């Protein structure tokens, strides 16, 4: 076609860079290009011709910004200078001349680049006018080719990575067998295999899955994996799973990661709440919601309370299929209260005071966060992690080993039994009586936290 004949195979990005029009398409353009590229050869050839014609062996042709091209002859050969040479400058040992032929060629050289760009622009504009008449057909073909390219790419990936054809219908269920993350499985070291996981979600039974497990165990990857499989299925792609049955979703909501918005003066927690608000205000029972932690940017009690209330709202008001990864193990109690909430955990194993991540999502809930073990893996000094183990042990027994100021400043680590302080010391009989009357067997975790907070405030107000 016209484009193939006129435009270079590898044209520059901008027309002003030159070289857009293909060699051989326009005779005048080719001639000017040859002139511009052959200037050095022409000068050398013309210099040799003049030497032979005049008999001046030392004659040379040079260029400067004042005279342009000129012929220089030493004083010893002045008598051999032809009559058509025009004197331009006299030096101590030589004289410089120009000729009509040399000035004519100089004019051609100086204007060649400008003429090349002008001609290319003119040719390109004519070509554009011709193509504009066929713009609709070209755009239609481009769209068809782009669509075909997308489908072929999806097909290649599906064959190469053992994807399966999902069943997509109007149901409200999502069932994935041996699902995999399409990106992470490609980034694993040679010989290492991605651990597949099942997923069962539905508005009638398993509507909300509370997923617990330590950092680095794979909770976030699992959430993203489910979201990507649902998305791929709804754009017509095969999916990275042994099988998948996907009920159509109207939206996929994600609340993942943690970052502030300095430009708008928003803290990490405020950004998180904005995202959560957008979800609960716009989601429907056809939506898929992926929550990777809620309430981390505030106090523990506030965070648990918000996460608890949000989960209740999703269950009772919206009914959207939800995966909720959290470190708040208290949320596991929701499964005892609400029929469509189920607990899942990412399985781990402990071996020689180390944690081994199995990356398998199973029914149940994690009973440990393994934060100290993860900190060890991250490279925290042994002194820090050893001290953390002491503090954890004391916290779990409701006591905290407190260092004196001098010890905190120094390098010594406080040992068990030194300077112990009861975490919650009963300050009077009234609070002791309140504690005695608490019916903890019939309290929800949220009620227990609220009561604990009230007692803490009373103790602090009396100190």
Per-residue confidence (pLDDT) for residue 132, from 0 to 100: 92
What is the average pLDDT across 115-129? 92
Cα–Cα distance measured from residue 407 to residue 412, given in angstroms and rounded to the nearest whole number: 6
Cα–Cα distance measured from residue 71 to residue 68, given in angstroms and rounded to the nearest whole number: 10
Which has the minimum average pLDDT: 61-75, 214-228, 435-449? 435-449
Instruction: Name residues whose C-beta falls within 8 Å of residue 379's C-beta, 6 or more positions apart in sequence.
Output: none
What is the average pLDDT across 328-334? 92
Cα–Cα distance measured from residue 429 to residue 15, given in angstroms and rounded to the nearest whole number: 89
Quote the mean pLDDT of the chain.
Answer: 85
Asked if 419 and 401 count as a contact pair (C-beta separation under 8 A), the reply is yes
pLDDT in tens, 414-426: 444 444 434 444 4
Q: So what CATH class is 164-370? A: alpha beta
Per-residue confidence (pLDDT) for residue 106, from 0 to 100: 85
Comparing 2-132 with 164-370, is the CATH topology the same?
A: no
Closest CA to 245 of 174, 310, 315: 174
Instruction: Give the DSSP H/E element, type plus range, for residue 435.
Output: helix 429-437
Residue with tokens 């199995």: 358
Asked if 288 and 207 count as a contact pair (C-beta separation under 8 A), the reply is no
Q: Is the pLDDT of residue 3 over 70?
A: yes
Asked if 71 and 85 count as a contact pair (C-beta separation under 8 A), the reply is yes
Asked if 268 and 260 count as a contact pair (C-beta separation under 8 A), the reply is yes
| Backbone dihedral angles phi then psi of residue 38, each to the nearest 5 degrees | -105, 15
Closest CA to 267 of 275, 257, 259: 259
* Domain locations in the chain as residue ranges: 2-132, 164-370, 429-462
> In this structure, how many other beta carbons lie within 10 angstroms of the beta carbon of residue 189?
5
pLDDT in tens, 370-405: 778 778 877 888 888 888 888 888 776 654 444 444
What is the CA 354 to chain-centroid distance, rounded?
32
Q: Is the pLDDT of residue 364 over 90?
A: yes
Asked if 369 and 214 count as a contact pair (C-beta separation under 8 A), the reply is yes
Confidence class for position 82, pLDDT limits 50, 70, 90 = very high
Per-residue confidence (pLDDT) for residue 440, from 0 to 100: 66
Per-residue confidence (pLDDT) for residue 436, from 0 to 100: 67
Beta bridge partners of 243: 177
Q: What percent of the chain has pLDDT over 70?
A: 87
Confidence class for position 110, pLDDT limits 50, 70, 90 = confident
Per-residue confidence (pLDDT) for residue 420, from 0 to 100: 42
Q: Is the pLDDT of residue 339 over 60?
A: yes
Per-residue confidence (pLDDT) for residue 441, from 0 to 100: 62
Cα–Cα distance measured from residue 366 to residue 355, given in angstroms and rounded to the nearest whole number: 13
Asked if 344 and 321 count as a contact pair (C-beta separation under 8 A), the reply is no
pLDDT in tens, 183-202: 999 999 998 899 999 999 99
What is the average pLDDT across 328-339? 93
Per-residue confidence (pLDDT) for residue 401, from 0 to 100: 47
Asked if 280 and 318 count as a contact pair (C-beta separation under 8 A), the reply is yes
Per-residue confidence (pLDDT) for residue 145, from 0 to 100: 97
Identify the three-state secondary structure at position 426.
coil
This prediction's pTM: 0.65
Distances in whole angstroms, Cα of residue 285 to Cα of each of 203, 208, 252, 319, 325? 7, 12, 12, 5, 20
Confidence class for position 109, pLDDT limits 50, 70, 90 = confident
Per-residue confidence (pLDDT) for residue 112, from 0 to 100: 82
Cα–Cα distance measured from residue 332 to residue 220, given in angstroms and rounded to the nearest whole number: 18
Which of the pair, 361 or 428, is modelled with greater confidence? 361
Q: So what CATH class is 2-132? A: mainly alpha
Closest CA to 402 of 379, 378, 422: 422
What is the average pLDDT across 199-211? 95
Cα–Cα distance measured from residue 44 to residue 130, given in angstroms and rounded to the nearest whole number: 43
Burial 293-307 (b: 16+ CB within 10 A, else e): bbbbbbeeeebbbbb
pLDDT in tens, 240-285: 999 999 999 999 999 986 654 555 556 778 888 999 999 999 999 9
């Amino acid at each position: 076609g016209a484009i193939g004949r006129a435009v270079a195979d590898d044209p520059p990005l901008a027309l002003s860079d030159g070289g857009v029009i293909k060699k051989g398409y326009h005779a005048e353009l080719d001639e000017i290009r040859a002139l511009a590229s052959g200037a050095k050869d022409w000068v050398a050839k013309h210099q040799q011709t003049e030497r032979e014609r005049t008999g001046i062996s030392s004659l040379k042709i040079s260029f400067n910004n004042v005279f342009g091209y000129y012929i220089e002859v030493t004083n010893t050969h002045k008598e051999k200078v032809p009559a058509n040479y025009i004197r331009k400058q006299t030096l101590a040992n030589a004289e410089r001349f120009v000729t009509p032929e040399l000035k004519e060629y100089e004019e051609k050289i100086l204007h060649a680049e400008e003429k090349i760009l002008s001609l290319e622009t003119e040719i390109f504009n004519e070509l554009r006018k011709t193509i504009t008449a066929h713009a609709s057909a070209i755009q239609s073909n481009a769209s068809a080719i782009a669509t075909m390219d997308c489908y072929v790419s999806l097909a290649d990936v599906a064959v190469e990575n053992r994807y399966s054809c999902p069943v997509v219908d109007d149901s409200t269920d999502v069932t994935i067998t041996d699902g995999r993350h399409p990106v992470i499985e490609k980034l694993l070291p040679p010989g290492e295999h991605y651990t597949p996981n099942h997923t069962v979600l539905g508005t009638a039974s398993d509507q909300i899955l509370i997923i617990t497990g330590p950092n680095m165990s794979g909770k976030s990857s699992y959430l993203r994996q489910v979201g990507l499989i649902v998305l791929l299925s709804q754009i017509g792609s095969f999916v990275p799973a042994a099988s998948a049955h996907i009920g159509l979703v109207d939206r996929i909501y994600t609340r993942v990661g943690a970052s502030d918005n300095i430009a708008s003066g928003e803290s990490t927690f405020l950004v998180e709440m904005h995202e959560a608000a957008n979800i609960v205000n716009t989601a429907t029972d056809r939506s898929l919601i992926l929550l990777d932690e809620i309430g981390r940017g505030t106090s523990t009690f506030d965070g648990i309370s918000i996460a608890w209330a949000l989960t209740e709202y999703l269950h009772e008001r919206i009914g959207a299929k939800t995966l909720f990864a959290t470190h708040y193990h208290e949320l596991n109690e929701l499964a005892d209260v609400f029929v469509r909430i189920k607990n899942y955990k990412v399985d781990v194993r402990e071996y020689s005071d180390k944690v081994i991540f199995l990356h398998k999502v199973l029914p149940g809930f994690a009973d440990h966060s393994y934060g100290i073990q993860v900190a060890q893996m991250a490279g925290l000094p042994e002194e820090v992690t050893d001290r953390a183990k002491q503090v954890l042990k004391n916290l779990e027994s409701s006591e905290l080993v407190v260092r004196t100021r001098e010890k905190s400043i120094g390098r010594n680590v406080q040992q068990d039994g030194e300077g112990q302080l009861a975490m919650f010391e009963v300050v009077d009989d009234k609070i002791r009586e309140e504690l005695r009357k608490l019916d903890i067997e019939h309290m929800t975790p949220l009620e227990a936290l609220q009561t604990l907070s009230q007692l803490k405030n009373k103790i602090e107000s009396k100190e």
